[in-house]
Amino acid sequence: MTVKMILAVDEGNAIGWDDGSLPWKIPADMKRFKELTTGHDVLMGWKTFISLRRPHGLPNRTNHILTRKSYAECAPFLGVDAAKVHEFTNSPARWLTLPQEVRVTDTFQDYVRAHQEGLNPKDLWIIGGAEVYMQAIVHKLVDEIYVTRVAMKSGASVRLPFDLYDIEKFIDHQDAYGVQWTMHERMVQKQDDLSFDFTTLKKTQ
């Protein structure tokens, strides 16, 4: 099983707005995201999940939500009937009332490592937001990065705490911490007047 990270960044390393929405609409990027992640597991923070506006998460994927929120706080957003929320709040089986496609976890490192060491043949795709991306990079949990670099300054409020628009800078910075990355693919794209590229990085050490 491989842990992969997928995201889009602009020239200022912005990835979105506070409500989880994206500052651009790039159909080719959304198509690529769907093609790569469908059939696998996806891991996201609470704000990213809410921004999907899908109580059952992304279709044809197992959706893992990273949050410290309680069952009672999560369940209404996951389509659980209010009466059932009240009935199961203190039950050991409460998390089983969630949609089959959704899982909730409050531990990031242990969860990812258990996924890596398990027998699950599906890849795990980390899909946001900024804090989840940062933890994945800081704790050296990611094997591959699929980044869409958008040639614009969106002014969006949520930014990565590391530079992923400047690929060479990212590689050099990671190398200083003993993590080596190589660029395996770069595909330059254009939509109307907007230029962007699909870049793939793979960890070699």
Residue 30's CATH number: 3.40.430.10
Structural domains of the chain, count: 1
> Which residues 6+ apart lie within 8 Å of 177 measured at CB?
140
Segment 109-150, tens digit of pLDDT: 767 776 667 666 688 999 999 999 999 999 999 999 999 999
Domain assignment of residue 94, yes or no: no
**Can you give the pTM of this predicted structure?**
0.89
Does some domain include residue 114?
A: no
60 token code pair: 């044809």
Which of these ranges, 12-16, 28-32, 40-44, 63-67, has the smallest mean pLDDT? 63-67
Domain, as residue range, for 187 = 3-54+122-203
Task: Note whether residue 185 is domain-resident.
Answer: yes
Q: What is the Cβ-side half-sphere exposure of residue 80, based on CA atoms within 13 angstroms? A: 23
Whether residue 56 contacts residue 79, with contact meaning beta carbons closer than 8 Å, is answered with: yes
89 lies in some domain: no
